[in-house]
Amino acid sequence: MHNPLFEDLHAEGLISDNTLEKIRKEHSSNLFSIHWELKMILYFGVMMLSSGFGILVYKNIDTISHQAVLAAIGVLATACYTWCYKNKLPFSPTKVESPNSLFDYILLLGVLSFLSLLGYLQFQYEVFGTRYGLATFIPMVLLFWSAYYFDHLGILTMAIANLAIWMGISVTPKELLKSGNFDSERAIYTYLVLGFLLLTLGYFSRRYDFKKHFSFSFHNYGVHLSFLALISGYFFYDYAPSLILLSLFGITAWFIYRNALKHKSFYFLMVTAIYTYIVLGGFVNRSLLLTKTDESLYVGFLYLIGSGVWLVVILMKLNKKLRA
């Protein structure tokens, strides 16, 4: 207890020993923060509100006119954007804090409402016709503008995903592994272009200090997409093309490794080490399979065991290197 007031009151006989002890216990107890719990509740609340609104419209579409639905969604989106515009802090190329605790959630509700409006217009009236590129390009522009203008990381993630949709793919890592779209050259190079584009955006964002805190999101998606595309291309091709992609993988891994050391990021060091382990394992096993002997099979198993231990040792050394 740092406040001497109660000690003085006790010395003068104005409070008892029992009261002083209770005050000491009260002041010694640490406060428990529920900041993240409240943020999660608010995020879930916005998502449930948007989902509930969609279910309500779906179940009552026969009794509610389409014009009324469109008007309600449009009014909600306009009201959210107007409130955010009036309450936002001035734009800055550096990070801008939210003016209050409700700002991020009202902005998120406005974005989701506007996307629902565009989706409803396309589904019901086909305003974009068969021009699906345009139907995904407009939401992408809106999301990127909202993310930068209002400085919102969550909306930036949605914008990156929409960029991937516009390019005809999905940026979700789970979908990357389950979609099975790596069996074509077009898909592989699309992933690769998108990955390098995101890495470039992350680099320039940090290099020129323009929304530098966005660089991690760009870099994170770019790293995974680039590595997955290069690995898929390596296994897709034979001989010379696969060796070219293998060399490109080595250059990309070196760049990401140096960048991770520079910014002391163990996460990107670990990601680079794991993807490199996969590539080296594939290269060794493909080389051994060319011999078509029983000994090569045993060597392959021994390599997998030894390389697994090597990976753990490398990660431990990298962690120590960052700590040093």
The C-alpha atoms of residue 297 and residue 291 are separated, in whole angstroms, by 10
Which of 144, 166, 188 is the endpoint of a domain?
166
How many domains are there within the chain? 2
Do 158 and 288 reside in the same domain of the chain? Answer: no
Do 234 and 189 reside in the same domain of the chain? Answer: yes
pLDDT computed for residue 128 by the predictor: 79
- Torsion of the alpha carbons at 255, 162, 84 and 44, rounded to the nearest 10: -100
Which of 151, 166, 181 is the endpoint of a domain?
166
Length of the chain: 324
pLDDT computed for residue 28 by the predictor: 63
For 302, the token pair is 């021994």
pLDDT computed for residue 85 by the predictor: 93
CB proximity list for 253: less than 8 A, separation 6 or greater: 227, 272, 275, 276
pLDDT computed for residue 223 by the predictor: 95
The C-alpha atoms of residue 60 and residue 41 are separated, in whole angstroms, by 28
Do 211 and 144 reside in the same domain of the chain? Answer: no
Residue range(s) defining the domain that contains residue 219: 172-324
Residue 25 within a domain: no
Question: Could you please report the per-residue DSSP string of 171-224?
Answer: --HHHHHHS-GGGSHHHHHHHHHHHHHHHHHHHHHHHTTSSGGGHHHHHHHHHH
Do 304 and 176 reside in the same domain of the chain? Answer: yes
* φ/ψ (deg, to 5) at 31: -75, 145
Residue 268 within a domain: yes
pLDDT computed for residue 1 by the predictor: 44
DSSP element (H, E) containing 129? none
| Average pLDDT, 10 consecutive residues per value, the chain (324 residues) | 66 76 68 64 71 68 71 89 93 89 86 85 77 84 94 91 78 52 71 92 92 93 93 83 89 93 90 92 77 71 80 86 78
The C-alpha atoms of residue 215 and residue 202 are separated, in whole angstroms, by 4
Give pTM, 2 decimals: 0.76
* Sign for the pseudo-dihedral over CA of 238, 239, 240, 245: positive
pLDDT computed for residue 180 by the predictor: 52
pLDDT computed for residue 29 by the predictor: 57
Do 122 and 193 reside in the same domain of the chain? Answer: no
